[in-house]
């Protein structure tokens, strides 16, 4: 496996960064999780745009232009001969000293890893997920904007752990006002009375790229209204269907929440249609990794 670090590719065993990197010392950096399907990178420009927006949010300059970033991602996929992949882009403050002062970090560190991992096994798409509400709340805008995909994921990791220890797969995080915000690594939606709900960006969520795609698919293909409004756990328990969205999860039904069965306890027909539409889109659109010229027919 070839890993990109600051303009060069290294074998996995040789791919190292400094212990003085502020990404390690302080979680001082940003990242993206991107997927490639069938030789194309899904929503590449959107992920790169969000990475730069996150970097701007923490006053971090990226050594590459967005176009160069896209090319570095594609090149890493090509060197690893991948057609289906999970791509992790990590941009850190770089090497500094042991203090907090970011001015000591002269140059950002950029890492691109392309791997074949599967975040959720296929059985979850048939059975659906169990979610549990974490006692930890989503980091509010007042502390660290949840819109920044920063390397500070401890809040989310601890929330996920409370759910996993209780036998569930994902955690629900509420915002400080007590409304549903999102999951540890996914956005959340519900269906009730032919209307789809998802928390608004200002309620304290990461603005997911899959979330955006799901909203568009619901409105354009399934012809239902999507309401971006805060809602309570009680509303979620009473939903006809609940689903989560994320680059890793795609669109995945949730069938049990804090011990309450949602619908009939299986992913509902609406979620199943949406999952299928999303799959179609991921396999048919995106930035081509390889220069695939159609083979000339020999008539």
Residue number with CB closer to ligand PXG (110 or 183) = 183
> Is residue 33 involved in binding ligand PXG (CB under 6 A)?
yes
- For the question of residue 149 being annotated catalytic, the response is yes
Q: Give the C-alpha separation, 120 to 250, whole Å.
A: 9
List 170's β-bridge partners, or say none: 131
Contact with ligand PXG (CB under 6 A) among 174, 209, 255, 289: 209
Do residues 234 and 262 touch, judged by C-beta distance below 8 A?
no
Q: What 3-state DSSP class applies to 99?
A: coil
> Is residue 182 involved in binding ligand PXG (CB under 6 A)?
yes
Do residues 210 and 245 touch, judged by C-beta distance below 8 A?
yes
The site map against ligand PXG for 97-116 (x = CB under 6 A) is --------------------
> Is residue 130 involved in binding ligand PXG (CB under 6 A)?
no
The stretch near ligand PXG (CB under 6 A) out of 22-30, 104-112, 179-187, 265-273 is: 179-187
Catalytic residue among 56, 106, 107, 149: 149
Interacting positions 247-276 with ligand PXG (CB under 6 A): 247-248
Q: Report the chain's terminal Cα–Cα distance, integer Å.
A: 41
Q: Give the C-alpha separation, 231 to 220, whole Å.
A: 23
Q: Which of 194, 197, 270 is nearest to 227 (CA)?
A: 197
> Is residue 23 involved in binding ligand PXG (CB under 6 A)?
no
The stretch near ligand PXG (CB under 6 A) out of 94-102, 127-135, 244-252, 257-265 is: 244-252
Residue number with CB closer to ligand PXG (76 or 245) = 245
Contact with ligand PXG (CB under 6 A) among 76, 187, 271, 282: 187
Q: How many Å separate Cα 38 from the centre of its chain?
A: 19
Sheet arrangement for strand 85-92: 8-11, 2-5, 109-115, 85-92, 29-37, 40-41, 287-288
Question: Which positions are catalytic?
Answer: 149
* Contacts with ligand PXG, residue ranges (CB under 6 A): 33, 119, 156, 182, 185-187, 206, 208-211, 245-248
């Amino acid at each position: 496996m070839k890993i990109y670090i600051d303009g060069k590719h290294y074998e996995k065993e040789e791919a190292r960064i400094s212990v003085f990197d502020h990404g390690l010392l302080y979680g001082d950096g940003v990242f993206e999780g991107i997927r490639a399907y069938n030789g194309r990178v899904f929503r590449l420009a959107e992920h790169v745009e969000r990475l730069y927006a996150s970097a701007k949010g923490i006053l971090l300059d990226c050594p590459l232009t967005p176009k160069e970033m896209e090319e570095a991602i594609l090149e890493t996929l090509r060197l690893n001969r991948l057609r289906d992949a999970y791509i992790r882009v990590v941009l850190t403050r770089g090497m500094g000293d042991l203090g907090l002062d970011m001015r000591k970090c002269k140059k950002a560190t950029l890492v691109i890893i392309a791997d074949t991992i599967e975040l959720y096994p296929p059985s979850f798409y048939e059975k659906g997920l169990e979610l549990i509400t974490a006692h930890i709340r989503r980091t509010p805008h007042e502390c660290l904007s949840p819109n920044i995909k920063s390397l500070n994921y401890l809040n989310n990791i601890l929330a996920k752990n409370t759910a996993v220890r209780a036998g569930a797969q994902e955690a629900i995080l509420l915002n400080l006002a007590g409304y549903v915000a999102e999951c540890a690594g996914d956005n959340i939606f519900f269906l009730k009375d032919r209307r789809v709900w998802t928390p608004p960006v200002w309620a304290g969520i990461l603005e997911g790229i899959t979330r955006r795609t799901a909203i568009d698919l619901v409105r354009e293909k399934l012809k239902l209204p999507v309401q971006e409004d805060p809602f309570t756990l009680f509303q979620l328990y009473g939903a006809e269907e609940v689903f989560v969205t994320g680059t890793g999860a795609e669109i995945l039904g949730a069938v049990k929440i804090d011990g309450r069965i949602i619908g009939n306890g299986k992913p509902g027909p609406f979620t199943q249609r949406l999952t299928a539409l999303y799959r179609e889109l991921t396999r048919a659109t995106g930035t081509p990794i390889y220069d695939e010229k159609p083979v000339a027919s020999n008539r």
